Each structure stands twice: as structure tokens, then as C-alpha cells.
Amino acid sequence: MKAEPQFAFLDEGSKKEIRRATLKAVAIPGYQVPFASREMPMARGWGTGGLQLTCSLVGKDDVLKVIDQGADESVNAVSIKKLIRATTGIPVTERTEEATLIQSRHRIPEVPMTKDQILVLQVPMPEPLRKYEKKESITKRLHAESEYSGAWLMLFEQIMKYGRTTTGADHPVLVNGRYVMAPSPIPRFDNQKMDHSEALILLGAGREKKIYAVPPYTEIRSLAFEDHPFEGEDFSGKSCRFCGATGVFLDELYSEETDVTEYQCNDTSHCADRLERQGEKEVQHATI
């Protein structure tokens, strides 16, 4: 006899605790609510925070999409999808438009999200001030006092040393004019997608035991100086080598053999979708 797994893996008591923390997180945008992170059948640091949020959210009517650094088919994304499928039986999709729940590691999809969708981001390091302050008790006080000169100084030093900010991914943002927040390691290109987003964005850090949130229509400002305005990654003049897309986040591929640098879409499902539509058009306009 085989026992049925608990719906969405987590027991109801755990879900309740995560749900309580999530509601507080939504009520206090950008504030990291501590929660009792559960042991998951996956190593911490592989998205257990996001997975716990997804398990607390998911219902029988949901359609799930999981992305790992833009890709739907990487190991991390596939194993998370398998676990949710095995414990809930809900359909999974690769198309952003079809999903009601999107769990993502380090990207926000290219297709704009709607109010009926919830984006869950996996967070390795939820504390934006950790780079210069090791103690949690002190970072908590800094947040309480809105004392963010350290975060500004960090950016200032980068500009002094390199002439520009060198944050790459996870560029800190100011939420609703109050909390400095780590947007999870999304590229700077995606920071602007968080500002006044239509969809609710939830962020979960399993190892660090924190949940935080960005409600829809909330002001998200990337930290920047007046004379050094914030800039996303610049892809002007470049396009995807497969679908030709411009204005999207591109991966840079360099071949040592041919010494050629090529670019391709980072969001694989968006790229595949475009290719499919181009294929359809070609068939329609084909002359025999």
C-alpha cells in the first residue's frame, strides 16, 4: 500500500506559519519577516525559501511555471516542478501567460505579468546590509532606524574605484520609500520590472529563514546617486541570435575558437514562443 503524499508536500501547520509570515510581509513591504524555515527534500540554497512559499500558495486550480536563471528546463527548475507535480497533480507550463504561479530563480520573465499571477523569487541572501555588517542584531537595528548610509557608501566606493556601480545582480532597492531591500540576484535589467508591478511579488530565503514581499503598485527605486543614475544592463545594438529579439535580457556567449561574441535570449520560453510565431508566419506566407 502506498500512502498518498500530503497536498503540496508541507503539513498544514507549516503552511499556516508561512502564510501568517507572508501576510505580514505584504503589510510591511520590504521588511524581512522571520519564519521557521522547514527542512525540504532539497539542499538549502537551491530555492527552499521559494519552494516553501509556493507550497503554501498552491491550490488545485493553479498552473505552475518554474524558471531557473531564465530557463524552464534546467535541473533546479525541473526538480521543483517535479516535486510540486507529484504532490499536487497540478499542470505545469513554460508559457508565462498561462501560469498563475511563477517561481523564479534570478529572473523576472520578459512577458509582463498580470494581476492574476503571483511571482515567487528565490533568495540566497535577503539582507542587503550583510556585506558590511555581519551581525543580524545590528542589521535589524539599522533597518529599524532607517540607517542606510552603509548601503550608499558601498555604492559610492564602487564608483570611486571603478567609475560606476559594480553590483551586477542584486542591486539594492528602496521599497515604498522606507526599507532597503535585496531584490534577489535578478540582473539590474529586471529591477525596473518590480516598480509598480501588476503582480504580487513574494521573496523567500529558506536558509536565512526570511520572507518578504513587494505588493502590486508599490514604488521600487534602485539605489543611485543624482550624478550617477541607475542603469540597467545595456543591450542596444544587440539582438538574439535565434529569434532576433531586442530590448530583452541577453546572454553573452564567447567562442574562443572563432573569437566571435554572440548573444541569445536569457528567457528561454519567451525566445521559443517568438520562434514558434515566426515559424507560423513563414508557413502562412510561403509561396509554392
Partner 1 sequence: MQLDSVHDIQKVYRELLQCMARPGKIADIRESAAKADFVRECHPATFLVIQTLLDAEVTFHVLGDRTDAVRRKIADYTFAVHTSAEEADYIIAPKDTSETDLLEAMSGCKTGTLENPHQSATWIIETGAIDGTSEWKLSGPGIRDEEEAPITLSEALVSTRNAKTQEFPTGIDLIFTDSDGCISCIPRTTAITAKEESAWVM
Residues with a catalytic annotation lie at: 30, 240, 243, 265, 271
Binding of residue 140 to partner 1 (CB under 8 A): yes
Least distance to partner 1, CB of residue 52, Å: 14
Whole-angstrom CA distances from 259 to 242, 244, 255, 262, 264 are 19, 21, 5, 10, 16
Question: Taking a C-beta distance cutoff of 8 angstroms, is the pair 210, 49 a contact?
Answer: yes
Question: Across the beta sheet with 101-105, what order do the strands follow?
Answer: 33-34, 210-214, 200-205, 118-122, 101-105, 64-68
Q: Which one, 2 or 60, has the nearer CB to partner 1?
A: 60
Query: Between residues 15 and 38, which has the closer beta carbon with respect to partner 1?
Result: 15
Q: How many CB atoms lie within 10 A of CB 269?
A: 23
Among 13, 163, 229, 237, binds partner 1 (CB under 8 A): 13
What does the block give as the cell for 197?
Answer: 508591478
User: Would you count residue 217 as binding partner 1 (CB under 8 A)?
Assistant: yes
Quick one: which segment of 74-82, 127-135, 161-169, 215-223 binds partner 1 (CB under 8 A)? 215-223
CA distance 212 to 171: 16
> Rule CB under 8 A: is residue 221 a binding residue for partner 1?
no
Asked if 126 and 210 touch (Cβ cutoff 8 Å), the reply is yes
Q: Does 126 bind partner 1 (CB under 8 A)?
A: no
Cβ distance to partner 1 smaller for residue 59 or 168 = 59
H/E run at residue 23: helix 12-27
- Chain residues in the site for partner 1 (CB under 8 A): 7, 12-13, 15-17, 19-29, 31, 33-34, 56-60, 115, 118, 140-141, 143-145, 176, 178-179, 196, 200, 213, 215-219
